[in-house]
Amino acid sequence: MDNKTKESSIMDFTYLSLDELESQVVPLFPNKKDPEGLFHMDLLGALPFRMIINGWDKEELLKFFTARVEDAIDNIAEWDAEDEMMKRLH
């Protein structure tokens, strides 16, 4: 059994909570175009606000979010490459 760190437990909680919220957005707002996309945009708007209230400055936020965007782009590229390799094998 893997030992959970406080940090990994928080990440697990965050992803589980986000999954739960995403699953409820479409049924709660059936008449909205792309309710899940709107939900994500609202979250992205709320995060910097909360982080600034908690003491982050603009440069810290830009550095943090830039790194997260670069990580996401790299991860998606890796997944796409793995998918392409799996397609070739089958």
- φ/ψ of 25, rounded to 5, equals -65, -50
Residue where the block lists tokens 């990994």:
8
CA distance 74 to 60: 21
Is 73 found in the same domain as 50?
no
* 9 pLDDT tier (thresholds 50, 70, 90): confident
Is 39 found in the same domain as 2?
yes
Structure tokens at 34: 């792309």
> What letter represents residue 42's amino acid?
D
Is 13 found in the same domain as 45?
yes
* 11 pLDDT tier (thresholds 50, 70, 90): confident
Is 22 found in the same domain as 50?
yes
Question: The whole model's pTM is what?
Answer: 0.63
Is 9 found in the same domain as 51?
yes
Q: What is the pLDDT of residue 71?
A: 94
Domain, as residue range, for 43: 1-56
Q: What is the pLDDT of residue 27?
A: 93
Is 43 found in the same domain as 2?
yes
Q: What is the CA radius of gyration of the chain?
A: 17
CA distance 90 to 69: 32
Is 41 found in the same domain as 5?
yes
